[in-house]
């Protein structure tokens, strides 16, 4: 986790070395598969072309989620190798009525499930089960849910800062 203070209005950014290394290891495995497919291209060009395309797209699309807290807003960002595949959503405190966290995705849960091998690391189901959520209720009555793989402890720190900034913004009004 990375904490930044007094650098402009940037107060906090979630960052997980564990998650970062998982993505790096997964990308290395994808590169090995892609290189192997390229080496065997002449043997079966249809199958290897399919493998190269699917694993190449996967390599480009996997990324790192983060929540960045500022004085007047917070940003939910998902960065990938190529910037146009990622996204950034901005939520201004002036538009937020309430905010809460839901989910049980923690370092301990992740390590336990991996050790017991109950849910394979690469499965889509793993990410659906373990995603934590930030639930927002906006002043216009609209509800937004941010589903992310960021660990709950990091989200709690981010939301605590967001609530602090949100309360300070309300006091100024």
Residues 6+ apart with CB under 8 A from 85: 60, 61, 63
- From CA 59, how far away is CA 31, in angstroms rounded? 8
Instruction: Kindly report, residue by residue over 28-41, the tens digit of the pLDDT.
Output: 999 999 999 999 99
pLDDT at 129 over 90: no
Given this model, what pLDDT does residue 51 score?
Answer: 95
pLDDT for 8 beyond 60? no
Quick one: average pLDDT of 133-142?
92
Q: Which of 61-65, 76-80, 126-130 has the lowest average pLDDT?
A: 126-130
pLDDT above 50 (res 106) = yes
pLDDT reported for residue 125: 42
pLDDT mean over 94-112:
74
pTM score > 0.85 for this model? no
CATH for the stretch 10-172 = 2.30.29.30
73-80/132-138 β-pairing: unpaired
Q: Burial level of 62, CB count in 10 A (0-12/13-18/19+)?
A: middle
């Amino acid at each position: 986790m990375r904490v930044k203070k007094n650098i402009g209005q940037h107060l906090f950014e979630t960052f997980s070395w564990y998650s970062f290394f998982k993505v790096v290891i997964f990308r290395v495995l994808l590169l090995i598969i892609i290189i192997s497919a390229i080496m065997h291209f002449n043997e079966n060009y249809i199958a290897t072309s399919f493998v190269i395309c699917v694993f190449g797209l996967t390599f480009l699309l996997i990324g790192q989620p983060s929540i960045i807290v500022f004085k007047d807003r917070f940003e939910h960002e998902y960065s990938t190798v190529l910037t146009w595949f990622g996204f950034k959503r901005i939520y201004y405190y002036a538009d937020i009525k309430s905010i809460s966290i839901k989910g049980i995705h923690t370092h301990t849960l992740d390590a336990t499930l991996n050790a017991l091998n109950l849910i394979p690391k690469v499965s889509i189901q793993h990410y659906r089960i373990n995603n934590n959520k930030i639930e927002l209720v906006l002043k216009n009555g609209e509800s937004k849910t941010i589903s992310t793989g960021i660990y709950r402890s990091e989200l709690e720190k981010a939301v605590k800062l967001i609530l602090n900034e949100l309360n300070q913004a309300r006091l100024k009004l």
